[in-house]
Amino acid sequence: MRIACPFCGERENGEFTYLGDASPKRPNFAVDGGESPERVEDAFYDYVYLRDNVAGVMREYWYHGGGCRSWLVAERNTVTHEFISVTAAPGAGAASAVRAGE
C-alpha cells in the first residue's frame, strides 16, 4: 500500500502508523466550567470508546513516524483500501492554528 504524505509525497505504508477514526473530537473540558460532570464524562466516553464501523470512505489518523513525523488525516475507503485524500493535521507545521474542535 502506498500513502501520499502531503509533505513527503507517496511512500510505502510501513513508514506510517494507523491510529483510527479522525471524526471524534476531544471534548473541551473547562475545570471551572459550567458543564455538569456527568455531561463531561458522557462526552469523554463517546470520544474514547464510541466508533462507527464504516464500510466505505472514512476519515482516519495516520502518523508518518518513519518519515516527517507529521500526523495526517486520510480519507480512505475501508472496502477497497483506496486513499481519496491525505491532509496534514492542523498543528503539523508551524502555522498558527486554532484548537481542533473549536
Rounded to whole angstroms, the Cα distance separating 32 from 53 reads: 35
CA dihedral over 65, 87, 27, 29, signed as positive or negative: positive
Per CB under 8 A, 35 contacts another protein: no
Per CB under 8 A, 46 contacts another protein: no
Rounded to whole angstroms, the Cα distance separating 32 from 50 reads: 26
For residue 16, give the amino acid letter.
F
Per CB under 8 A, 65 contacts another protein: yes
Rounded to whole angstroms, the Cα distance separating 59 from 77 reads: 9
For residues 7 and 24, is the Cβ–Cβ distance under 8 A?
A: no
Binder to another protein among 30, 34, 50, 55 (CB under 8 A)? 30
Name the residue nearer to another protein (CB basis): 48 or 51. 48
Per CB under 8 A, 84 contacts another protein: no
Name the residue nearer to another protein (CB basis): 11 or 54. 11
Binder to another protein among 23, 34, 45, 53 (CB under 8 A)? 45
Per CB under 8 A, 50 contacts another protein: no
Number of amino acids touching another protein (CB under 8 A):
52
